Amino acid sequence: MSIFEFLKQPWPWYVAGPLIGLTVPVLLLLGNKSFGISSSLRHICAAVIPAGLPFFKYNWRKEAWNLFFVAGIAVGGFVGNFALGNPDAIVISTDTRQTLATLGLTDFSGLMPTDIFAITNVFSLKGLIFFVLGGFLVGFGTRYAGGCTSGHAIMGLSNLQWPSLVATVSFMIGGFACTHLLLPLLLNLAR
């Protein structure tokens, strides 16, 4: 099996997980940097928005490494999708398919359900709820929690930070509540 064939295979959790986990000590040991993605939005805004907002008045150039890190994630995602994409269909259990079908989600051809994330839904009530309101809530939650899920769950927990444990547990509870309580309500409302 060639390296190209190997990279096209889904990686098991016991390989991918440690690689992600090792990002934290490598960043800390080599550059005294903290892992996190949500702060890059602030750095981008500080770099391109010439407004005199105090929140964006800081030396964003010291954090330029973060922008390169995020650009690398975007490029890696592009390469992974188009050059290393797995041609096999995504496997979803029959029970999950049946449960989602009762909510009106029937197209399982991609990573995201096209019944929600189709371009035709952008300017509908469903799009307003999922894209605009959902995006605002994610942004607000990230700012309110002082970081995103990756920053808290990977970086904060590895540093044994109590606020990161509280944030990660809250993210999980919120995710379960939204999946089991809020999502069915929203999907039925948006039909």
What is the tally of structural domains in the chain?
2
30-39 confidence digits (pLDDT tens): 888 877 788 8
**97 and 58 in one domain?**
no
Provide the pLDDT for residue 190.
Answer: 59
User: Between 191 and 104, where is the model more confident?
Assistant: 104
Per the listing, tokens 């903290």 go with: 34
Question: Domain limits at 178?
Answer: 90-191
Cα-Cα-Cα-Cα dihedral of 63, 67, 68, 70, to 10°?
130
Of 55, 88, 121, the last residue of a domain is: 88
**173 and 106 in one domain?**
yes
Q: What distance lies between CA 64 and its chain's CA centroid?
A: 21
**81 and 10 in one domain?**
yes
- Token digits of residue 126: 């469903």
pTM for this model (two decimals): 0.68
- Token digits of residue 95: 């029970």
Q: Are 46 and 63 in contact (CB under 8 A)?
A: no
Mean pLDDT of 116-140: 82
Q: Look at residue 4 and tell me whether its pLDDT is greater than 80.
A: no
47-103 confidence digits (pLDDT tens): 888 777 888 888 888 888 888 988 998 998 888 888 877 777 778 889 988 988 888
- Token digits of residue 14: 């016991």
**108 and 21 in one domain?**
no
Mean pLDDT of 4-12: 76
What would you measure as the largest C-alpha separation in the chain, in angstroms?
56
**Nearest-angstrom CA–CA distance, 163 and 171:** 12
Nearest CA among 154, 173, 158, 191 for reference residue 20: 154
150-179 confidence digits (pLDDT tens): 788 888 887 888 988 998 999 899 889 988
Provide the pLDDT for residue 108.
Answer: 79
Provide the pLDDT for residue 119.
Answer: 81
**103 and 49 in one domain?**
no
Q: Look at residue 111 and tell me whether its pLDDT is greater than 70.
A: yes
Output the CA angle 88-92-94, nearest 5 degrees.
Answer: 130
